[in-house]
Amino acid sequence: MQAFETTPKQWGNSLGITIPKDVVDKEKLSPGKRVRVLVVSDQSHKLRKVFGSLKLKMPTQKAMEEIDREYYD
């Protein structure tokens, strides 16, 4: 998994992004190969302020493991 930042550009009625070549190479991407995109806007920093104040019914590590399982499946 690779992370990078990019700015969407207008492509017809949609928005499109470009994937940097180093990410394409590391992930062995090719045209037609499906990828999963996780969109995190600049507003996501607000979630970080809230996260520490959440009272979970399970340990944080267990919650993060569940999130990872759902994300990677």
What average pLDDT does range 57-73 have in this prediction?
A: 75
- Is the overall model pTM greater than 0.75, yes or no? no
Q: Could you report the per-residue pLDDT of 18-38, keeping only the tens digit for each?
A: 999 999 999 999 999 999 888
In the three-class reduction of DSSP (H, G, I as helix; E, B as strand; rest coil), residue 40 is classed as coil
Q: What is the pLDDT of residue 14?
A: 95
Q: Answer for the pair 8, 17: CB distance below 8 angstroms, yes or no.
A: yes
User: Is 72 or 23 the better-scoring residue by pLDDT?
Assistant: 23
Which ranges in the chain belong to alpha helices (H)? Answer: 21-27, 45-51, 60-72
Q: Answer for the pair 8, 15: CB distance below 8 angstroms, yes or no.
A: yes
What average pLDDT does range 54-62 have in this prediction?
A: 73
**Nearest alpha carbon to residue 56 among 64, 47, 46, 44:** 64
In the three-class reduction of DSSP (H, G, I as helix; E, B as strand; rest coil), residue 42 is classed as helix
What average pLDDT does range 58-62 have in this prediction?
A: 78
Residue type, 59: P
